[in-house]
Structure formats: C-alpha cells, structure tokens
Amino acid sequence: MRTKFKLAALALTLAGTLPALAAADVKVGFMATLSGPSAAVGQDQLDGFQLALEQLGGKLGGVPATLIVEDDHQKPDTALTSAARLIERENVDVIAGLTFAHVLMALQPTIAQTQVPFIGTVAGPSPTAGKLCKPNLFITSWQSDTPAEAMGKYLQDQGVKRVSLLTPNFVGGKDKLSGFKKTYEGKVLDEIYTPLNQLDFSAELTQVSSSDPDAVFMFYPGALAISFVRQYRQAGLADKYPLYSANSIEGAGVAAMGEAVFGSKVVDTWTPGIETQRSKDFVAAYEKKYNRLPSAYAAFSYDAAMLLDAAVASMKGDVSDKKAFNAAIKNAKFESLRGDFRFGNNNYPVQSYHVFEIVKGDDGKARFKTIAKDVLKDQADSYAAECTMS
C-alpha cells in the first residue's frame, strides 16, 4: 500500500503545477510486473517511461500528463482487474507497459471491447501480431519470436552445428524458441522448458553438459537470467559452450551477473552498445538518474513515451476521439533510440537486429560491443501476413 501511495505522489508530481482538483489533459495508465522474481523488468519499463516524461517537462504533446501505475503481479486476473479500474474508474486515455506475454494474452478481450490504446513495451506474443491484431494494440519492443530468429540466423551463418535451448515454460518463452528454430537449420540437442519462477538450474545444466552442444541459446527474464548466467559459469560450462541469448542479459542484471557475464553474446534491436548520439544521451541520463545501466525494456518504454508525445501533439492535445488517437499513434513520427522506427500493418515494429558481445570495459564494468550489425534488416515479424489490418 505504501508503494501505491508513493507512486500516486509521483504521478501528481509529473502532472506539473496544476491545481489539486484539476484533471490532467492526458491520463496514462502504466501497468507492469513490479513485484516477484521478474520485477526488475517492469521497473525498467516504468523508469524508462518516467525519464522520458521528466525530460518532456511532465507533458505529452505539450499538455500536462498524469501517470497512474498498476502492478499486475505477473498474474492475468490481477491485470484484468487493473485494466478495468484504469479504464472505467480512472478514465485513462491510454494504457502502456504490459510486461509478460501470458498477461497480455489474458487482456485480449478487454482490449477488443474498448478503443482505448494499449501500448506494450515488452510483451509481444505471436497471436497478437497475427490473427489477434487490433487497431488499438501497439507494441514498441518486438514480436517475441523475432530477436531469436536473428540469433538463429547468426548461429547458422557462423556454422554452429549443434545447440541446446532453454527457456521458461510460458507463451513468451515458447515464442522465443519457435523463432530460433525458424532460422537455425542445425541440430537441436535439447529443448528445455522450466517453470517461470525456477531459479535453480543445476539439473538442466547437467543435462546440457551431457548433450555436449557446440553452443547454448537461452531466454530468461529478470532474476531468472541472473541466476542462470551465474550458475552456467559456476558449472564450468561458459568456457565449453558459448552462451547466446535474447532479451535476458541486460540492465541492472548485467552488473549482478558479475564476471560470469563476460563473453556472452546477445541479440536485440537496441542495447547500450548502440552508437548513436541520441542513444548515448539516453544511457547517460538513465545511469545518472537511476544509477544503473538501462535495459532494452527501459529504452522501449522511453520510446513509447516519445511516441505518445508525438501522437498527442499531432492532435493538438485533444485525445478524446479514441479512434483518431489510435490513428495518430500508428502514424506518429518520432526519433527512436534504435534509429529508424515504423509500425507494420499489425502495429508491431519493422526494425533491424544486431548481435553484441558482453566485454569488460576499461573501467572493469560490462560493455556491449557490436559484433554483427543488421543480422536482420528492416525486419517485419513472421505473423504480420496473418493480420487483416492494412
């Protein structure tokens, strides 16, 4: 309860100097997983969005904005209740955040019954990119398969013959391994699914060691990734089987992994290794404010705020017409941290993917070094053709 009041106070601060009883011009509901083993992912989302709002002077499109935060606890039922409260009681103009794929899937009937825009900054389950696409659902991150498709292609191009795959047993993890297998043509020795709250991987690592692969690809979010990478090194596997991942080794988790993380390779459309000035400025501002490295989740949420800023500005601050607001979000022009950005027909990004290696910097801290640029270039996701929207 104290956290809720603290966040409410922050929302009032972001609203600027409006009179206490006045309604803000734009109300944003931000729903994310802010507790449990993967809370760091949701916190990065929230912090990235809040940093953008701060830089925009607490405004979107030039008008004051209020941020109302809900913790979905990684539970679909909680998310459904929170979404109803945000739409019906708080009368928000837009809902952003949306951390886990199974939670976003549970929200599909709610999204279909309203014209309020939903902007996901992490979750990208495959059905919502295809047959369940909606004119009021936008994703600023990626469809879950696509980063793994890029890594599968990279390992295929590198001539890697045999791999072991590991991920949590939920829709987002299944999408990741499905994506990897679309582009990787070698032999998959292990396809291991673990509970979403599992932090001890000793049995799975023993299985990997017995399989003796050429490389290992994994996807684990938040604290799960920290535990996996540490245990992978402690088990002596890091020097035997190079570790590749998508959307797992990032943000504050990188520092928590310590020496175990060096040499790992990751794929994404954005990491702190992106060498544009806008990206460098964002990383510096984020580190100064939060004293930690930003993850891609923070960057995608920062972009979501900038996207909203452009959309609201194009409507001159009046977002009461939700159908027009959705169209404004779809067509908004803003400078993304990752470079060129546009939505495809299914409201998912069309973007490029790169591979990075985690190396030790001169200061002893982890750094992201680009080792393969545009592994997939201007890539739409694999499900866009199943979406009937134009």
* Tens digits of residue pLDDT in 247-290: 999 988 999 999 999 999 999 999 999 999 999 999 999 999 99
Q: What integer pLDDT is reported at residue 2 of this predicted model? A: 34
Provide the pairing of β-strand 342-343 with 349-360: antiparallel
* Average pLDDT over every residue of 129-156: 97
Residue 42 pLDDT level (bands cut at 50, 70, 90): very high
Report whether pLDDT(17) > 70: no
Residue 297 CB partners (closer than 8 Å, separation 6+): 41, 44, 45, 48, 121, 122, 141, 250, 251
What pLDDT score does 11 carry?
43
pLDDT at 16: 39
pLDDT in the model for residue 346? 98
- At 152 the three-state DSSP class reads helix
Domains of the chain: 2-144+276-350 (3.40.50.2300), 145-273+352-385 (3.40.50.2300)
Alpha helices, DSSP H only, in the chain?
2-14, 39-55, 76-84, 101-106, 108-112, 126-129, 145-157, 171-183, 202-211, 222-234, 252-257, 277-290, 296-314, 322-331
Segment 175-189 shows an average pLDDT of 97
* pLDDT on residue 21: 35
Confidence band for 3, pLDDT divided at 50, 70 and 90: very low
Contact (CB, 8 A) for 149 and 182: yes
The mean pLDDT value for 19-39 works out to 79
Q: Mean pLDDT, the chain, as a whole number?
A: 93
pLDDT value, residue 156:
98
31 has pLDDT over 90: yes
Average pLDDT over residues 57-78: 97
Partner residues linked to 322 by β-bridges: none
